[in-house]
Structure 1
């Protein structure tokens, strides 16, 4: 009768094998991390471009409804009821390059140039369930939009909608941008109905 003896020898990784594995993981992390950062930035840009596209579509729908209703006016100027909201529209002035029928405000039609309050009114009228937006840089949320006015490349006053999470943070809040060359944003020019995106 023979007896078998088992050796209680435990196998494991040597120190050299562990170092090699750690080095390989470090190399993978170093190459993958920039890709993940790029994906985050690309997602922010795609989100902003999607909102800008929806806004441009809304502007076109408002104008199309105004045209289909035979260009209604009230005592003040061009107006349309869009999704139960009364929206005042631009009045055409070919000498100054202003096309008729683009959203301008919901509170009162006081003409151009447009201010940040009326830009916010247009934002809320165009979208049925808009992202949070504010004209107060201290009151904006990380996932919202900061609304201001900015001059376009031709010096024409336009609405500027800044993606808040792309702006510079200082202290506990965000710094108000000085132009459209800061943060991801899009502009709306009520004179022509044009919506332009700016990725920074």
Structure 2
């Protein structure tokens, strides 16, 4: 007796691709991963902005404290104009208010008691304290591209808003030398 093997065409061909069900399952799994992972990646950008503002605020506070230390050693009390803090060049001189905190940075000797009293003073303090024009700052009312926008707050205080996220800011009060970093991206 002779047996002949019969193969149906279904079994003799190798599978050439994915079935529709397999493709749908893969698409669903990728969709679920995207929904879960996308917010995590978007949060990384906000976390980087918060870290940037915290680091800049820390550097600014350190600069303010260093300037205050120089004032305490060289002057000790009262206002001071054009006090060399970061070197002998005019770019490194700071004007101090009566409380001994940086108030402005100008090259003239015509103010008996320097005060931080406008947005230009805010910008000048930022630039002399951070020395190297990084991060950049400008008047909040101007449309130029800078890292921070300066806003004058009465009396004698400044807020530096982070341009990429205006909920993040650094506030300097020249009355008492406090530097406060607002690092809540949702406030």
TM-score (norm 1): 0.73
- Name 2:152's counterpart in structure 1: 149
Whether contact under 8 Å (1:119, 1:147) holds in the other structure is yes
- Name 2:139's counterpart in structure 1: 135
Structure 1 position 90, deviation (Å): 1.3
- Name 2:178's counterpart in structure 1: 194
How many aligned residue pairs are there? 163
Comparing 105-114 with 27-36, greater Cα deviation is found at 105-114
Comparing 107-116 with 37-46, greater Cα deviation is found at 107-116
Unaligned runs of 5+ in 1: 1-6, 92-99, 168-182
Give SS of 1:166's match.
coil
- Which of 20, 39, 47 is 1:42 aligned to? 47
- Structure 2 matches for 1:1-200, cutoff 5 A? 9-71=14-76, 77-79=79-81, 80-84=83-87, 85-91=92-98, 100-107=99-106, 109=111, 111-112=114-115, 114-129=117-132, 130-141=134-145, 144-151=147-154, 156-167=155-166, 183-198=167-182, 199=184, 200=187
What RMSD in Å do the two structures reach over aligned CA positions? 2.1
Whether contact under 8 Å (1:71, 1:78) holds in the other structure is no
Unaligned runs of 5+ in 2: 1-11
